[in-house]
Amino acid sequence: MKVLVVEDDSVLSAALTRALNQAGYAVDLCEDGDAANAALAAADYDLVVLDVALPKVDGLAVLKRLRDRRSRVPVLILTARDTLEERVAGLDMGADDYMTKPFDLPEFEARVRALIRRGRFNANQDMTHGRLRLDVAARRLFHDDVPIDLSARELALTELLLARQGRVVSKEQIIDQLFGFGDEVGSNAIEVCVHRVRRKLEPYGVEIRTVRGMGYLLDRVDERA
C-alpha cells in the first residue's frame, strides 16, 4: 500500500515517513501544494496525509482539487490550527479525518490503519489464498492460525501478490507499490525481497512463480499443506 505525505515541516515529515515505512507502507513525500497536485495526478494512493498550511497552494485547495476529480482516496488532514471553522471546512471538502498538531505517533498510526481499512476493505474482510490469510487491519500474515514472521517490506510484497493473485505482477508494479519516489532501488532489490518471501511461504505450500520477462505470480502448490 502506498501513502502520500504532504508536509513542509521536515522534522515531522521524516517522523511520519519513518513510522509509515516501519508499518510496511511505501511513502511518497511532497513539501508544497503544487508538488502534491502533480503527485496526485500522476499516481494512485491508498491514503493521503495532508497538511493544511503548505507553501504555494494550501492543503484545502489540494483537497478540493482532488475531490473535484472524483477521487475517493482517504485523506487525513493535519493542522496546527484547531478551529471549528477549519475543521468544518476540511470535512465539507471531503476530508475523512482530522488531527491537530502536535499529536502522538501511535494515534496517527491507528488512524492511518482505520482509514486505509475503510477505504479499501470491509472492516472484517481478510485477504486469503488457500489457507494463507492476511489480516489487513492487524498487518499480520497467517497460515491457518499460525503467524508467519515477515518484515514490513516482505508483508507489503505479499499483500500486493495476494491482491493480484492469478495475475502476473511486474517489477515496475512492485517498485511503485513498495518504494517511494525518493527511494534508491538497486537492480537486485526486488529479486532479494521476492526470494525472502518465497523462502518463507514455501513451507506452507505457497509458491511465488517467476514468469520470465514479465514478473511474478502467486501460486498455491498444495491446497492440503
On whether both 94 and 131 belong to a single domain, the answer is no
**Is residue 200 over pLDDT 90?**
yes
At 181, the pLDDT band (50, 70, 90 cuts) reads low
On whether both 12 and 115 belong to a single domain, the answer is yes
Lowest mean pLDDT among 5-9, 189-193, 220-224: 220-224
Long-range contacts of 112-117 (CB under 8 A, 24+ apart): 112/3, 112/20, 112/23, 112/25, 112/47, 112/49, 112/76, 113/23, 113/137, 113/139, 115/47, 115/74, 115/76, 116/1, 116/46, 116/47, 116/74
What is the domain range of residue 173? 127-220
Q: What domain count does the chain have?
A: 2
Mean pLDDT of all residues belonging to the chain: 86
On whether both 37 and 78 belong to a single domain, the answer is yes
On whether both 30 and 89 belong to a single domain, the answer is yes
pLDDT for position 139? 79
